Structure 1
Amino acid sequence: IDPTMQDVPQLEVQGVFGFSGHVFSGLTVHPSGEHLIYPLGSIIILQRIKDGKQEFLHGHTNNISCISVSKSGSYIASGQVNFMGFKAVVIIWDYVQRTIYAQLQLHKAKVEALDFSPSDNYLVSLGGQDDGSIVVWNIKTKQAICGSPASAFSGGLCFTVQYSNTNDDIFVSAGSGTLRVWELDLLNRKIKPTECQTGKLKRIVKCLAITEDDQFIFCGTTSGDIMKINLKTRLLTDCGPVKTKFSLGVNVLRILKSGNLLVGSGCGTLTLCAGKFKTLKEVQLDKGVTSIALKGEGQQYFVGTEAAQMYRFSYDDFKAELISSSHKSAVRDVAVCAGTSELFATCSEEDIRLWHVDKPIELLCITVPNITCNSLEIMTDGHSIISAWSDGKIRVFTPESGQLMLIIHDAHKIGVTAIAGTRNSKRIVSGGGEGQVRIWELQPNNHKLLATMKEHKAAIKCIKIKSDDKECVSASSDGACIIWDIVQLVSLQMVIANTLFRTVCYHPDIYQIITSGTDRKVVYWDVFDGSAIREVEGSKSGAINGMAISQDGRHFVTGGDDRLLKVWDYMEGVVTHLGMVHGGSITSIKLCCNNSTLISTSADGAIVRWRFPHPSSS
């Protein structure tokens, strides 16, 4: 963080909706049974199971790729993915203090998997595809003890690593054509591998589970079967199920106290199996199962899926209770309902979701497969959601049922990239990838194109309509913002800067607009003559992607690639409050009409609800 921001008051977080469902075994329960622990972008969320209260661990500079909690619960370890050529850090966190205990750096580009030894003395880490090494770390000294290539042959990929439950000197690694039991020789600072013998059975192992007494290793494979290996003899003892294999492979395994197995598959089935792989119970979830987290003795467990959903199960009834759902990819835009501060909508790849401000489960999910929704708005009358899609169509949905009310085909050639609706809910202004701005009139069950205005040379990134419905402003990545008369259908003014514009706002009372983009500057412009009035540095690093202004015009909010949400005093041009929760680039920001709730979204799929610190005096 910029040192000048150290003393700026923090924004109060009211809730974070989001879960990185693609991180395998990313959802865990702390041994105390008090918290769910899971990654979201570059942060770790500790969510109290009792009441949903959240805490956040910050320290990673890029997306978290794996997570592990020590057997005692004293430590959490997390690894990240990084850019090629850079080292990927492993962070050990002190759970009680909620602070960084150690930062460990040896692996290149990505940390694939982590696990603690049973007595918390050691941590084993596995590097990703570009690294291919296993390292054992001493937790007390915060130093590496030794390392080794994970696979016996060059190019052999290793996907997972699991420590013994009783012995600090034994752990297992597995992957494509490799399944090894390792012994730590502390005196000589070496780890010695022994290959497990599986005979003619050749499998790619995705996940491991070791029985509590360390007698057997269960290996989930991409082929959809499970191998059972004797840990002492390193020999294959069983493999199944023989007839009905798990579709799209076994992603995650957990062994219950009874000896039964919980199996999560790539097709989304969660199965309770007897020791001989016979199915006892099964339930179908949305998308592949990526995490199974046991609470206590396993009477209750939590399941995470690739659809970024979390479920709660009890062992007895084996019924899925959806406790959290979120976007599985970057959230592109957020829209708030004009008449109420209860509802807001977000859009992402393939879907639009409608949310209640206080609850993390969506009220409605509208899905359009294989197409990305770039922008959306809830019309002022509350009767429709207008949306801009990458296939060049504008789609209008009802907010109550999600039913498609209207579709405008071929609205823009290179996708619809921005959209806005007038206050009287009769017109739509849209922007496209080709740089056109188009004005549409909504008619009962139909639409009419009123104008096509082409002055921009590149994609339109943002459109805002003035409160009197007579003007709009379009911001483009060609470095121009154009103010349009949407009654006479002509351009009124153009402002040009050496930047790719990402966002623009009208000041509600004075004839000014504020803009921002890739040059990291916030610029105030005079609407009449297009002159720059003022310029402030909006960010020390990375583009500013989203901006919102309060109804009284006294404050505005910015957010971008630096992941910081900043509340500004409009007249003073200084930051009054700072929000530091997002684990990915902030993509959009909206202020609810009560002027006390702020919603921001980010590229890691997160939606964050904040208390806006300057409620309107009116």
Structure 2
Amino acid sequence: LKKKEAICGSPAQHQSAGITVCLTYCNDDDERFITAGENLDFDLNLRKTFIFSRRQQKLLGAVTSITLRGDGHQFFVTTDKCHLYRFNYADFTHELINTCHYAAVNDIRFPSGCSELFATCSYQDVRVFNTNTQQELLRINIPNMNCYCIDLLADGTAIVSGWDDSKIRAFYPETGRLMFTIQNAHKKGVTALCSTSTCNRLISGGGEGQVRVWDITEVRPPDVQQRHGRTRRRRGCSGDEKGVPESSFVTKLVEAMHEHTNAVSCIQISKDDLSCVSASADSTCIIWCLEKQIIFSNTLFRCICYHPNEWQVITSGTDRKIGYWEVYDGSLIRQLEGSRSGSINGMDITKDGNTFVTGGDDKLVKVMDTYWSASKIVNFIVFFFVSLYS
């Protein structure tokens, strides 16, 4: 520092020049440090002349921080793709400890009758997580595309998703391989999606405001066993080159319903698959049977739920109100204040219809009693943290 001269250094070359974003010293050796930058981890030794990299590992995303553990026998590395790695210093091996989406999460779904797994979608990928361990089990990547919505078929045989390139893509849940694609499903991207209980129809909503019904027909190979009219596929083998033969699928547009004038934000279907309700950014909710009743309100609806008895629907949106609507004539039954600040962006209801949960811009998850006043709301502050494993 007194002489303002570099003790050590390495000339930059066009093959290796990059941006070093973080640096940490080893606790038990002053002549050893770890540096990282874009997509690389380096373990370096100090030299009086030039320094050179001894070992390196390629990571997913640019490195944002490095933290030593204990005496330096291990260290943790995080990247801008929301990956947390643990390195062993002796052999310089690494393992992925935890990960999550690095962009906004657009949708989340649980399988029918199962709370141990859940699927999420975001920019470029669809992921499946274990609820108990929070570990990622499956990742489906579509580069440079944004996934707006997902749904899981009731029999668990497919993950269907809607994308901003106007395509509906279905994937095998065991391997993540593509099952089928519906081309040009909507003009301005697929913004909402749900499936029937029979798993042979999809209902989609688009950015242009249309609600469309798609018929899915599975053409089974002759040597594949059948059960209840559908293909019986061995778990863990579907879509695998070494597994059972894959079925082919034929998709057909059954109906296109034109009523919304803006993007469809949510679609829910009734238990009997005879009617569905859609919410849109044009401030309307529509119950289709094909068209049974139109519900108008001066709010931009974000989400909607059928009551399990299906005699009413519950809506919420940018006006921070939770509305109860009569399905028969579309009349408003009552309203509750769902949030004091910010819109309500997500909502779901239990199977018994006694409790529903909301989440919104106020960063609170609220558990509400369906039949009592808002004073029975229980608030849970939602925050994110990174847990380092010892």
| Inter-partner Cα distance in structure 1 for 2:90 and 2:177 | 38
Match of 1:371 among 141, 145, 149: 145
1:261 match: 33
Match of 1:345 among 119, 122, 129: 119
Amino acid at match of 1:534: R
Match of 1:576 among 377, 381, 389: 377
Q: Once the 2 structures are TM-superposed, how far is the Cα of residue 468 of structure 1 from its aligned partner?
A: 1.2
2:310 and 2:327 in contact (8 A); partners too: no
2:158 and 2:172 in contact (8 A); partners too: yes
| Inter-partner Cα distance in structure 1 for 2:127 and 2:52 | 39
1:241 and 1:278 in contact (8 A); partners too: no
1:479 and 1:500 in contact (8 A); partners too: yes
Q: Once the 2 structures are TM-superposed, how far is the Cα of residue 240 of structure 1 from its aligned partner?
A: 1.2
Alignment of 1:69-84 (within 5 A): none
1:246 and 1:265 in contact (8 A); partners too: no
Amino acid at match of 1:578: N
Alignment of 1:602-617 (within 5 A): none
Match of 1:293 among 67, 70, 74: 67
Q: Once the 2 structures are TM-superposed, how far is the Cα of residue 360 of structure 1 from its aligned partner?
A: 2.4
Amino acid at match of 1:254: T
| Inter-partner Cα distance in structure 2 for 1:247 and 1:549 | 54
Amino acid at match of 1:404: L
2:8 and 2:46 in contact (8 A); partners too: no
SS at 1:313 equivalent: strand
Q: Once the 2 structures are TM-superposed, how far is the Cα of residue 398 of structure 1 from its aligned partner?
A: 0.7
Percentage identity across paired residues of the two chains: 44
Q: Once the 2 structures are TM-superposed, how far is the Cα of residue 269 of structure 1 from its aligned partner?
A: 1.3
Match of 2:163 among 389, 410, 426: 389
Q: Once the 2 structures are TM-superposed, how far is the Cα of residue 341 of structure 1 from its aligned partner?
A: 2.0
1:480 match: 284
1:249 match: 19
SS at 1:448 equivalent: strand
SS at 2:335 equivalent: strand
Amino acid at match of 2:160: I
SS at 1:387 equivalent: strand
| Inter-partner Cα distance in structure 2 for 1:332 and 1:234 | 52
Amino acid at match of 1:473: V
* Pairs aligned (count): 350
Amino acid at match of 1:413: K
Match of 1:278 among 52, 55, 70: 52
1:355 and 1:362 in contact (8 A); partners too: yes
Amino acid at match of 2:263: A
Once the two structures are superposed, residues 184-229 of structure 1 have per-residue CA deviations (whole angstroms, 9 ceiling, x without a partner) of: xxxxxxxxxxxxxxxxxxxxxxxxxxxxxxxxxxxxxxxxxxxxxx
Q: CA RMSD in A?
A: 1.6
Alignment of 1:328-339 (within 5 A): 328-339=102-113
1:515 and 1:522 in contact (8 A); partners too: yes
Match of 1:469 among 267, 270, 273: 273
1:479 and 1:499 in contact (8 A); partners too: yes
SS at 1:414 equivalent: coil
1:247 and 1:265 in contact (8 A); partners too: no
Q: Once the 2 structures are TM-superposed, how far is the Cα of residue 510 of structure 1 from its aligned partner?
A: 4.5
1:319 match: 93
Shift in CA distance, 576/271, structure 1 to aligned 2, threshold 3 Å: same
Alignment of 1:43-122 (within 5 A): none
Q: Once the 2 structures are TM-superposed, how far is the Cα of residue 287 of structure 1 from its aligned partner?
A: 1.3
1:379 and 1:421 in contact (8 A); partners too: yes
Amino acid at match of 1:493: Q
1:564 and 1:582 in contact (8 A); partners too: no
1:437 and 1:452 in contact (8 A); partners too: yes
1:509 match: 309
SS at 1:418 equivalent: strand
1:191 match: none
Alignment of 1:183-262 (within 5 A): 231-243=1-13, 246=16, 248-256=18-26, 257-258=28-29, 259-262=31-34
Shift in CA distance, 242/540, structure 1 to aligned 2, threshold 3 Å: closer
| Inter-partner Cα distance in structure 2 for 1:395 and 1:332 | 16
1:557 match: 357
| Inter-partner Cα distance in structure 2 for 1:506 and 1:522 | 13
Higher RCO, 1 or 2 (CA under 8 Å, sep at least 6)? Answer: 1
Shift in CA distance, 431/247, structure 1 to aligned 2, threshold 3 Å: farther
Unaligned runs of 5+ in 2: 219-248
Alignment of 1:362-511 (within 5 A): 362-444=136-218, 445-485=249-289, 490-511=290-311
2:78 match: 304
| Inter-partner Cα distance in structure 1 for 2:59 and 2:152 | 30
1:530 equivalenced with 2:304 (yes/no) = no
Q: Once the 2 structures are TM-superposed, how far is the Cα of residue 380 of structure 1 from its aligned partner?
A: 0.3
Shift in CA distance, 450/510, structure 1 to aligned 2, threshold 3 Å: closer
Shift in CA distance, 474/370, structure 1 to aligned 2, threshold 3 Å: same
